[in-house]
């Protein structure tokens, strides 16, 4: 038996390289594995092998079968290759990449997100994440945004059907689930998970019931920032944002904080920037983010002692940053999958 199997394999291995076409290959395979093949005969002969020798013989049979299958596959692959080469003619090497091949590249929004994250990493921030489907509590209540606040109005926020359940439901029994309208919910998730000091940046996708036009999209991206520590002040806010805009928009970029209102910061500001590096936009102040010092109410909501902890927070639209940086005039370009647009960032 042993000898029989060894012979089958030796003969097959010797014959395979000479096989050049499919009919030959089929005949070769049939001579071994077909109904009257040599391997088939060996398999039948197993029945006559004495019981004590069966395990060893069986093992050898399986090994031989495996080796033959590999040989068949390799031989067939070689034949297929030569068929393709014959069809293409001698001038074409099918193993070379096509000259028309577009290797692909990161989407411009991904590129700008990575740039922003990179700048904040240098300032000691790490990346945090949260879900896109949020409970109302994380998205609003915990951020000191009462039921009556206009942001909770059906006009702005996309509500999930009542029967939908968020992975970790929070305390309000009758809570609705929403597609998060901002990344500020990640502030809450992070503070509930870890203790200060905290320095995080949270890039992510957000959703609003906006009518789509050149500057609005129902689906967009924000980058949130949160820094909680002892004695975080407005001076820290200003220096973090200063460092960010200079890295992102180049030397000579200035910022301006304008008093504003957000329920989760006190005081709150809109941050504008002016940069000599933005072409025809260089002469004006451009609004790019909301920011402020964390409202003590927010700390109470996550169980932090507001007497002990202070913080700064900010949130910006990623599309807006990318549009300013690259002189893009319509937000819809980001989602149109038009290669003429995308290739400019390859």
Q: What is the dihedral of CA 119, 120, 122, 125, to 10 degrees?
A: -160
Query: Residue 219 has which token pair?
Result: 């689906």
CB of 320 to ligand DAH, least distance (A): 11
* Residue (24 or 229) nearer to ligand DAH, CB: 229
CB of 147 to ligand DAH, least distance (A): 18
* Residue (130 or 290) nearer to ligand DAH, CB: 290
* Residue (28 or 309) nearer to ligand DAH, CB: 309
CB of 163 to ligand DAH, least distance (A): 27
Judged by DSSP in three states, 296 sits in: helix
State how far the Cα of 157 lies from the Cα of 179, in Å rounded to an integer: 7
Give residues with Cβ within 8 angstroms of 253, minimum separation 6.
245, 246, 273, 274, 275, 276, 277
CB of 182 to ligand DAH, least distance (A): 3
* Residue (8 or 295) nearer to ligand DAH, CB: 295
CB of 290 to ligand DAH, least distance (A): 3
| 316 burial via Cβ count (<10 Å: 0-12, 13-18, 19+) | buried
Give residues with Cβ within 8 angstroms of 334, minimum separation 6.
107, 108, 109, 217, 319, 322, 328
State how far the Cα of 272 lies from the Cα of 225, in Å rounded to an integer: 17
State how far the Cα of 307 lies from the Cα of 217, in Å rounded to an integer: 40
* Residue (59 or 216) nearer to ligand DAH, CB: 216
* Residue (182 or 274) nearer to ligand DAH, CB: 182
Task: Answer for the pair 210, 191: CB distance below 8 angstroms, yes or no.
Answer: no
Residue 304 half-sphere exposure toward CB, CA atoms < 13 A: 28
State how far the Cα of 278 lies from the Cα of 274, in Å rounded to an integer: 8
Q: Which residues bind ligand DAH (CB under 6 A)?
A: 182, 184, 224, 262, 265, 290-292, 313-315
State how far the Cα of 214 lies from the Cα of 338, in Å rounded to an integer: 16
* Residue (5 or 295) nearer to ligand DAH, CB: 295
CB of 317 to ligand DAH, least distance (A): 8
CB of 307 to ligand DAH, least distance (A): 21
Quick one: which H or E segment has residue 278?
Answer: none
CB of 250 to ligand DAH, least distance (A): 24
* Residue (147 or 283) nearer to ligand DAH, CB: 147
CA distances from 70 to 49, 229, 269, 304 (A): 26, 64, 69, 65
């Amino acid at each position: 038996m042993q000898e029989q199997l060894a012979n089958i394999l030796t003969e097959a291995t010797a014959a395979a390289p000479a096989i050049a076409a499919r009919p030959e290959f089929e005949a070769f395979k049939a001579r071994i594995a077909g109904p009257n093949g040599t391997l088939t005969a060996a398999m039948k002969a197993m029945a006559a092998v004495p019981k004590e020798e069966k395990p060893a013989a069986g093992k050898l049979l399986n090994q031989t079968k495996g080796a033959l299958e590999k040989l068949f596959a390799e031989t067939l692959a070689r034949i297929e290759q030569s068929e393709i080469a014959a069809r293409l003619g001698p001038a074409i090497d099918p193993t070379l990449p096509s000259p028309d091949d577009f290797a692909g590249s990161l989407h411009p929004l991904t590129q700008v997100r990575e740039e922003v994250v990179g700048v904040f990493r240098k300032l000691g921030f790490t990346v945090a994440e949260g879900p896109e489907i949020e409970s109302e509590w994380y998205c609003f209540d915990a951020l000191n945004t009462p039921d009556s606040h206009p942001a909770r109005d059906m006009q702005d926020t996309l509500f999930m059907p009542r029967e939908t359940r968020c992975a970790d439901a929070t305390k309000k029994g009758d809570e609705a689930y929403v597609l998060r309208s901002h990344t500020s919910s990640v502030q809450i998730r992070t503070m509930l998970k870890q203790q200060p000091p905290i320095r995080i940046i949270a890039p992510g996708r957000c959703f609003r019931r906006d009518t789509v036009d050149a500057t609005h999209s129902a689906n967009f991206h924000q980058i949130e920032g949160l820094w909680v520590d002892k004695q975080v002040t407005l001076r820290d806010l200003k220096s973090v944002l200063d460092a960010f805009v200079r890295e992102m928009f180049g030397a000579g970029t200035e910022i301006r904080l304008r008093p504003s209102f957000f329920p989760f910061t006190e005081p709150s500001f809109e941050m504008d920037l002016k940069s000599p590096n933005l072409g025809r936009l260089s002469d004006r102040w451009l609004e790019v983010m909301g920011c402020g010092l964390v409202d003590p109410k927010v700390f109470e909501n996550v169980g932090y002692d507001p007497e002990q902890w202070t913080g700064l927070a900010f949130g910006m639209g990623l599309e807006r940053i990318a549009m300013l940086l690259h002189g893009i005039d319509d937000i819809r370009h980001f989602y149109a999958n038009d290669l003429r647009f995308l290739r400019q960032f390859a």
